[in-house]
Structure 1
Amino acid sequence: MPHILIVEDEAAIADTLVFALEADGNATTWLSLGGPALELLRQQPVDLVILDVGLPDTSGFELCKALRRFSEVPVLFLTARNAEIDRVVGLEIGADDYVVKPFSPREVAARVRAILKRTAPRDPAPASVAGPFQVDGERVRIHYHGQPLGLTRHEFRLLQALLAQPERVFSREQLLDALGVAADAGYERNIDSHIKSLRAKLRQVAPAAEPIQTHRGLGYSYAPDNA
């Protein structure tokens, strides 16, 4: 039974979410403040976090940033804001989805099902070598020039997809598919954010190399000759 943590300060909203999610076969825990939620997440693993952006003691965005320092648990944001910039910021700091209030509890339950399905553990891929990269699918690790890369879940899958087919130009939609993320508006820009982060981590190991190439208007590819 998936365990969902709800971090929401409005009791009426939390109650409807608890009812909908438990009716859908989930266990739930409700907390109204970000501080106690962060402490719980440090001590007890959960399968997904539903996080309100406007909490009394902290911003949901700041809480998500703190969470991402030690956990890759999926996060679904709840917010009263509908500006695209807010949605993109939420996705760039590590959220998996974004729901604007007012919302249908059934819609949230359906989105939770979709997130859990696409983030469920997959059969580990065998270890492989792509030039200076060593990909260990079983341990979900990638080494570059012998150095381990500290990658997030999305960064690992993104780099793994690029390395599996050198020189192939992947569109942003194809890379979203590799991540198991629906190609909704706002997510394509999130691919660019992951690529930027990946490049920064690769440059820490090999500053002069450019293994990830940009193809304007098309997407990205892995170039072995530049690795």
Structure 2
Amino acid sequence: MAIILIVEDDRLLNEGIAYALGREHYDVVSAFSSEEGLDAFRSHEVHLIILDINLPDRSGIELCKDIRQLSTVPILFLTAKDTEQDMVVGFESGADDYMAKPFSMAVLSQRLKAILRRARGEDAPQLFSYRDITIHYDKMKVYKHHQEIKLTSTEFKLLTILSRNHKMVLTRQMILEKLWDWDGIFVDENTLSVNIKRLRNKIEDDPKHNVYIKTVFGIGYTWGSEA
């Protein structure tokens, strides 16, 4: 069963959520500050995080950004605020979903189930299009200008990871971990660099001006550009 980390400084609310999720057979880890939350995340194999924005030591937004440097684990924000701007800031920091207090535990439960299904790929679309490229994930085929591009297995996995996370900046370590999780085959830093280069040569019109696989210097890569 999934392990859910709750980072919420309101002890009664934290314990109430933990109790309700425990009854649904989730394993729950509770933290009551940003520092405790980060320590708990590093100490457990967490599958989803419920994160309060207003924490006593620092903002949950900042904690979310820190976690996003380490992992793509799904994050659902809890907050007393529900303005459009608050939602935008939350999503820009890497949140997957957002709930304003007070909320129904039944609704929260359904949100968590939906997020976990997406994280496992159960609700993931099998077709993705961007600019002149179309990816058929289920058929493991890629087309550019309606012409099929032949990719190796590793190149296709890399393309899938980047395109399915097209709203995120992925660190090299995150990509390596996802490649490892895919089929348990070890991929090192050099192999990743080689495959990024090969993939760019196959899908970019001009490898010197990348519009599909963008480098975020000092961090990693992201998919897409409006340039």
Matches within 5 A, 1:153-168: 153-155=164-166
Corresponding residue number in structure 2 for 1:9: 9
Q: Normalising to structure 1: TM-score of the pair?
A: 0.60
Runs of 4+ in 1 over 3 A off after TM superposition: 121-140, 150-153, 202-206, 209-212
Q: Secondary structure at the match of 1:46?
A: coil
CA 1:51–1:36 in 2, change beyond 3 Å: closer, same or farther?
same
CA contact (8 A) 2:142 2:150 kept: yes
Corresponding residue number in structure 2 for 1:98: 98
Q: Is residue 2:188 matched to residue 1:141?
A: no
Q: Quote the offset at 1:42 in angstroms.
A: 2.6
Corresponding residue number in structure 2 for 1:87: 87
Q: Is residue 2:56 matched to residue 1:45?
A: no
CA 1:51–1:204 in 2, change beyond 3 Å: closer, same or farther?
farther
Q: CA offsets, 1:70-127, max 9 Å, x none?
A: 1000000000011101111111221111000111122211111111112114597565
Q: Quote the offset at 1:23 in angstroms.
A: 1.6
Corresponding residue number in structure 1 for 2:175: none
Task: Give the fraction of aligned pairs with identical amino acids, expressed as a percent.
Answer: 36
Distance 2:205 2:13 in 1: 45
Which stretches in structure 2 are left out of the alignment for 5+ residues? 125-136, 169-203, 214-223
Which stretches in structure 1 are left out of the alignment for 5+ residues? 144-149, 158-201, 213-221, 223-227
Count of equivalent residues = 162
Higher RCO, 1 or 2 (CA under 8 Å, sep at least 6)? 1
Distance 2:93 2:111 in 1: 19
Paired letter, 1:94: G
Corresponding residue number in structure 1 for 2:208: 206
CA 1:61–1:130 in 2, change beyond 3 Å: closer, same or farther?
same
Corresponding residue number in structure 1 for 2:66: 66
Q: Quote the offset at 1:43 in angstroms.
A: 3.6
Aligned-pair RMSD on alpha carbons? 3.5
Distance 1:135 1:94 in 2: 30
Distance 2:205 2:21 in 1: 43
